[in-house]
Each structure stands twice: as C-alpha cells, then as structure tokens.
Amino acid sequence: MIPIGITRIAVRSPLGNSLDETAGALRRGEVGIRTPADLEQVPKVDSGAGEVPLPASDRGAWRAEILLRKTLDDLLSTEDRALIAERPARWGIVVGTTLAGMRHCGIGMRADEAERLADAEESYARACASSVLAHATRALGIEGPTLTVSCACASALSAVSHACTLLESGDVDAVIACGYDPIAEFVYGGFASLQLVAAGPLSPFAKDREGMKLGEGAAFFVLRRLGDVPANGKRALRAVMGSRRWLLGFACEVAGWALYVTALSLAPLAIVQATAAGGIALLAVMVARITRTPLARTERLGALVSFAGLALLGSSLLGAHGEGTLPDVATAAGWLGGSAALAVAVLRLLVGPIGGGPAFGIATGLLFAAGDVATKLAVDGHGSARPVYIALLLAFYAGGTALLQAGFQRGSALTTAGIATLLTNAVPIAAGMTIFGEPLPSGVPGALRLAAFAAVVAGAVLLARKGKVAGVAAGAGARSPQLIP
C-alpha cells in the first residue's frame, strides 16, 4: 500500500466559489437549489437547479471550460506551477465528467437547423470531453498522462482511482484528479421529460419521493505520494495557528487539563482517571446534539456503559476509601521508565506482526498513561523531584501526541484511537491501585468500584470506534492506496 496525500483542494459549487464558502454555507444550512438563471433557455417547468455563482459573462456555451479553468486556477499554488514548469512530463491529470461540453451541442443543433454546417461541426467537436479538457488546461503545460473518465455518477471517483494508479506505477510525481459537470438544457429537459426532477423539496428517503434535483460543480485535488511531499513545518504551523476552531479547541484542552490536575490534587488517581474516561460519553452526547448527528449503535452502547460506570463509581464512593501514598523515587522511576521502554519495544517488535496502526496505538496509550502518572507524581510530589516529574509529563504527552498522529498515517484511525484510549485509561487506574497504593473499599463498594473501572474503560473504547463495518472496510482496503488529507 502506497500512502497518497491530498496536498491541495479546490471546489466550486452552487453554495460558493471556494471550499470555505461551500463548507460555510453547509454549516449554515443553506440550500443551493434556486430558479435557474444560467440554462440556455428558460425551462417550461421551473423545478429549481443548483448553479455555480459565476459572472453573467460565463453563462454561454463555454461554461464547462470556464468552470474547469477557474477551479484549476484556484487549485494550483505558485509552487505547484513552478514544479509543472520544471518537470511537465511528471505531472498528469485525470478528469471525471458526464456532460463535458454538452452546452456546445445546443449551439451546434441550432446552427445545423440554420444550415450553417461548418459552425455546427465546430460546435459538435467542442462538445467532446477531450476538447473541453484541452482548452481548460492548455496554459498549464502538463505533458504527462491526460485522461478523461465518463461513467455517469461514478466519474469523479473513478478519476481519483485512476490518478492513484498512475502514482502507484511511478510514471508521475503528481496528478490533478477532479470531477466536474456543467448545467445544460439537454440534461434538464431530458430528466424533466422522464418526470425524474422533483418539483418540491428533495425527500430521497420518503415513500412519496418525487425525484432528484439537477446541478453543477467542480472539485479538484492534487494527489502525490506521501513520501514525496516535502515537510513544511512553518506552513503547517501557520495553518493551525490561523484556525479559530483549532485555537478554541486547544484552549478547551488546556482548561480541561488544568481541571484534571486540580482533581488529582483532591482525589486518588484511579478515581479521577475513571471519571475522566466516563466524561467521554457526555462529550459524545453533546456533540451529537450540537451537530444533529445521531450516534451509531456502538456509540450509543458506549455512552450507556460509560454512564453506568460513572453511576457505579459514585455508589462505590459511599464506602470508605483511602488516598493512597506517594511512591518512592525508585518505584516511580521504574514505572515511568518501564512504560517508555515498553513503548519503544512495541514499536520495534510489533509493527510488522500486528501493523503500524495497532502498534503505534499501544505505544501512544503507554506514553499518555505515563504522562498521567507523572502528572499525579508532580501534583503530590515535593522537593527536587517535582521539576523532574513536570519535565517527564511534558515529554510523555508530546511523545504520545506525535505517535498518535504517526499511527493515523500508518493504519486505521479507528483502531489506533481505540487501542490508545483503552491503555490511556486502564493503565493509570492500575497504577493508582498498585504503585500509589490506593485501596479498594471492602465488600460491595469495592466490587462496585471495580465494575465501574471496567465499565468506563470499555465505554471509552466503544466510543473511540465506530463499529465493525468501519473495521471491515479498513481491512478490505488494506491493499488499496490510502488517501490522506
């Protein structure tokens, strides 16, 4: 499997002339279907259509070429254009389309009817997909493979598949893969005559559904082998620091970690870790409500198990419990050093046998768990050992974060996250009951607490995964190119 990276994206749709505009309109719940203004003639029945908001000057027969060229202009950076100029034969382009230059057909038929045969032949020739692509890409200077794929609704996806095949073959270093279709009177009239265009709002899953809505758009990717993409830390840092959502999320993470540290100063590590693990269920429910995205069956089960674990944990606190004791430096060093050594051993010995994703997930969980233990040691520690524990917790968290991202690139994100979540929560609970000597209550409260620990960890793992279907799909695609945005 060759990891293939998406290095650039450009989109033009009825919701906007860029990816940001389109995504923003989707988040605001806007609808791109409106009265057609760009069809070659006014339709007899106005059922609405999705048209890219291009200027009035771009509404003619050359609409497909203009849509293609403008999206390409948005797609390619100055660096990309320099690379094309340097090695034009190492760049390819694969385009998926069904309609291509269909708008030229109307011009051709009207010219034919007026017995302007030369004009008609020229217009019919321009309707070909190869003609549209040649006119739109002429200025780019790409000399590598140039393909057009036309297979109805699967055209764009097929184009991406062909682009990945070109990259795997080694014939090119980069491929522009895209899908586009313009709005055209023939398509609108044809589907309308078959009574396949819905007159009212779309309701594809209703028993009394009417049909579809027609539209146009273009979406382009620059695909490259991930190993060929040069690292650009400054650009990545600027992109991250310029994102308000990322900054807000980071602020929330810092605030959450501060609360976690405060909780560790007030309660045993095992109880704090179990409560934090159960909090994932509350987060899942909140996200589902805010985004109006229903939880999958496995996620609902994970939330219920986690909430049950929190209830059991609360019940167990009715019994007496001790705070435990701070381990000596040798014991603490042995636990932390052993966690780091085990993480290194997993990466060295298990990547081949079990795969990169699971191995990096195990190593990630071990380092995050060591960071949690080091945080408890720093909170309760004293004297000269505290600065050392602080330095160690920062190192463990940073290392765990790096390994988690590496795991996502080497295997299924669901598997990697699930294993990491399991160890991140289970190992600190075990550390609390062993090296910190946090005793279990006797009798029923003790049994309830053990059940609570198991439930919140199991619930967290269920919420980190999305069921068997995703895992099966990931396994089935193990031999296919892995697209990484």
Q: Assess whether 290 and 380 both reside in one domain.
A: yes
Residue 239 lies in a domain: no
Query: Which 8-state DSSP code applies to residue 443?
Result: S
The last residue of one of the domains, among 230, 253, 279, is 230
Specify the CATH number for the domain of residue 222: 3.40.47.10
Bridge partners for 457 per DSSP:
none
88 and 20 in a common domain:
yes
Instruction: Please state, as a whole number, how many other Cβ atoms lie within 10 Å of the Cβ of residue 114.
Output: 10
State whether 287 and 174 are in the same domain: no
HSE, CB side, 13 Å, CA atoms: give it for residue 4.
28
**Is residue 258 a part of any domain in this protein?**
no
Whether 158 is in a domain gets the answer yes
pLDDT tens figures, 200-228: 877 777 877 788 888 899 999 999 998 78
27 and 161 both lie in a single domain: yes
Residues 158 and 285 in one domain: no
Q: Is residue 248 part of a domain?
A: no
Distance CA 371, CA 423 (A): 12
Q: Is the model more confident about 26 or about 475?
A: 26
Residue 365 DSSP one-character state: H
Categorize the per-residue pLDDT at 454 as very low, low, confident or very high, splitting at 50, 70 and 90. confident
Asked whether residue 434 carries a pLDDT value surpassing 60, the answer given is: yes
Q: What is the pLDDT of residues 289-299, one digit of tens each?
A: 776 777 778 77
Q: At residue 472, does pLDDT exceed 60?
A: no
Ranking 155-164, 206-215, 274-283, 388-397 by mean pLDDT, the lowest is: 274-283
Measured between alpha carbons, how far is 445 from 233 in angstroms, rounded to an integer?
Answer: 51
Residues 216 and 352 placed together within one structural domain of the fold: no
**306-336 burial code (b ≥16 CB/10 A, e <16):** bbbbbebbeebbeeebeebebbeeeebeebb
Which of 173, 201, 230 terminates a domain? The answer is: 230
**Do 382 and 464 share a domain, yes or no?**
yes
What long-range pairs does 119-123 form, CB within 8 A, spacing at least 24? 123/61
pLDDT at 379: 87
Is the pTM here over 0.75, yes or no? no
Residue 180 lies in a domain: yes
Strand order in the sheet with 49-50: 33-34, 49-50, 214-215
* Domain membership flag for residue 291: yes
CA dihedral (81, 83, 85, 88) positive or negative = negative
At which of 206, 230, 254 does a domain end? 230
Q: Domain check: are 308 and 208 in the same one?
A: no
> Tokens standing for 149?
């794929």
Q: Are residues 329 and 451 in the same domain?
A: yes
Q: What is the residue whose two structure tokens read 């291509």?
A: 100
Q: Which residue has the higher pLDDT, 271 or 291?
A: 271
Instruction: Specify the number of domains making up the chain.
Output: 2
Residue 242 lies in a domain: no
Q: Quick one: 301 and 210 in the same domain?
A: no
- Whether 51 and 104 map to the same domain: the answer is yes
- pLDDT, tens digit, 9 for 90 and up, residues 74-127: 999 888 898 899 999 999 999 999 888 888 888 888 888 898 999 889 888 888
Q: Is 204 left (phi over 0), alpha (psi -120 to 50) or beta?
A: alpha
383 phi and psi angles, rounded to 5 deg: 75, -150
Per the structure, the complete domain to which residue 376 belongs is given by: 267-484
In a domain, 110, yes or no: yes
What pLDDT sits at residue 157? Answer: 92
Same domain, 196 and 310: no
Over residues 137-152, the mean pLDDT reads 89
pLDDT interval class at 234 (50, 70, 90): low
User: How many whole angstroms separate alpha carbon 230 and alpha carbon 83?
Assistant: 13
Q: What is the spatial distance between Cα 452 and Cα 341, in angstroms, rounded to a whole number?
A: 30
